[in-house]
Structure 1
Amino acid sequence: MINYSFIFDFFGLFSKKHFSHTIPCSSRNLFTCWHFYGRELLCVAFMVFTLRLIHIFAIHKELGPKIVIVGKMVKDVFFFLFFLGVWIMAYGVANQALLYPRDPNFDRIFRRVFYRPYLHIYGQIPVEEVDAIPLSIQLGIFPFFPSILVILLMVYLLVTNILLINLLIAMFSNTFTEVQANSEFYWKFQRYNLIVQYHCSTLFFFAYCRLFNTDYMRVNFMFMLPSALLCLFVVLQLSQKAANRLMTWETIQKEDFLTAQNKIQQSSDSQRLLIMMTMIYYYHHLNFSFSL
């Protein structure tokens, strides 16, 4: 049985990226001009391989949900980067136009528009450029309007360091609370997926394992396309009798869970207080009716 879910697995992407980097790294000795690029790819492949080791902690009851939290926080960061990118580009273009209006070097312009405003968030602000006194204007070295630039810098730091950073912290807090409240369920699903993944994988190590699975995937997609697509989404293939038993068991467990939740709700102090107030109301209403 071939593990097709590996294609859509997050850590599977790490493995495929590591494998794609090892091929040019292994062939870098064939050409002298490839030595530097091969070394760069080898360093990136080592980082990816090291990050792939996080996958082994998914089986742990405490560390497994933390991996889910980190993954969801990464998604929150991507949404946050959209807002941050707009502010960086708006301030960076204005900063470049005010400080260096006649600079012809595109590389320096690009770095000042995007790279410098990003460093401003961490406190690396070139005060000598912002507060410079324009004694003479030669090739755009000195700024034209330093007072406006200071105001723009204040607004930029106010929005990024206070507004957007606190927005990101609030998103992180919401994600952590949501996952931590259901940490046991996340851990059980993680453990199940990990067991299924290793059960469906072959005995070969990674490089040959991917090549071995690729041949079978090509055959299945060519001759048995419906069954191959079915394996992408269905993990368990049960008979009709076993499926009915599983559905019956799930229904019983659902009813037991709802009954337990109702008992907990009825035994709570607020619920008992509400019942007592209702009984007192009906008691006084009944006495008033008899008195009439």
Structure 2
Amino acid sequence: MSQYSFGFVYVLTNKIMPGIVKIGMTAAPEEEKPMGLFTTGLPDAFEVVFRAITSHPAELEKRVHDQLKEKRYRPNREFFEVTPELAATTILQARQETDGIKAWAKKSQLYLQDGDRLLLSMRTGQVLFVSAYPSVIAPEAEMIDLWQVHTDGDTLELYFTDDPAYLPNDEPHSPETGTHTADNDIIIYKERLVPGDRLLWMDDTEPRFISALFESKCHCQLIARTRDPKFTAEGYPKLINVDTSWTASSQVSAAKQYVCSLPRPRTWAARHPGVAKGWTDGAWKNAPPANWLQQLNQKPVNRNTQ
């Protein structure tokens, strides 16, 4: 049974209410929310102008409402006298707290399983380290990848599944989670993790070193997104590559060594297994979006209603 799931915090506008936006949350696709608000009492429909995916929708919505409380139209309503741009900026800034490294570091090592969905909201300069045991008899794990964040608010979406056939690492087959009107962040990188892989998220820019450790008990589709892509001096996108000028601090180096020396994971799979060796082949199915976001499953139609 999954422990973590996604929700949405959204911004709606309506032509008959200039200067006012509605800020709310939902576990369902945000396209359904405006339809539910479009009643016979309104001459025009609401429009989704912004949405943010989050692992903590209730907490994120509360933070945003608290920060904009002076602009609230009425105390008991979710309407605010702010621009859509200010509402979106407030949501993104608040998400760096609700889904940031400090939020996830409050938990001890997280063991993720089939159906879990996590959103990590990152800050510039943070680094992420992926380790894996090369074999079940290896004395310790090895570094597989080292990534660096280049923009505040860049995100990692982690989708865990028992089926490795749904995990491409080239052409995206993951859900876009967006609307026809609200734009999605740009996918800048995609990778897959296998059972036993560990992801260590680190920040040594704070007054004290902080980290969050995740261990995959199954397969994982990892997607990095940004709203503000960065480029090298030559004009190439940075993606999540480590800058050539970056040097690991003693705290980062010690944390990496600690993770590599941890006992063998609870579950393990080879990163490059090969069908001939008896492993299930990976990335041969085109997973429907509902496989990644259960909210996208089509609801049954109630034929008794008119």
Q: TM-score range by the shorter chain?
A: under 0.3
Higher RCO (C-alpha 8 Å, min separation 6): 1
The structure with the larger Rg is 1
Flag the structure with higher strand content. 2
Q: TM-score, normalised by structure 1?
A: 0.24
Q: TM-score, normalised by structure 2?
A: 0.24
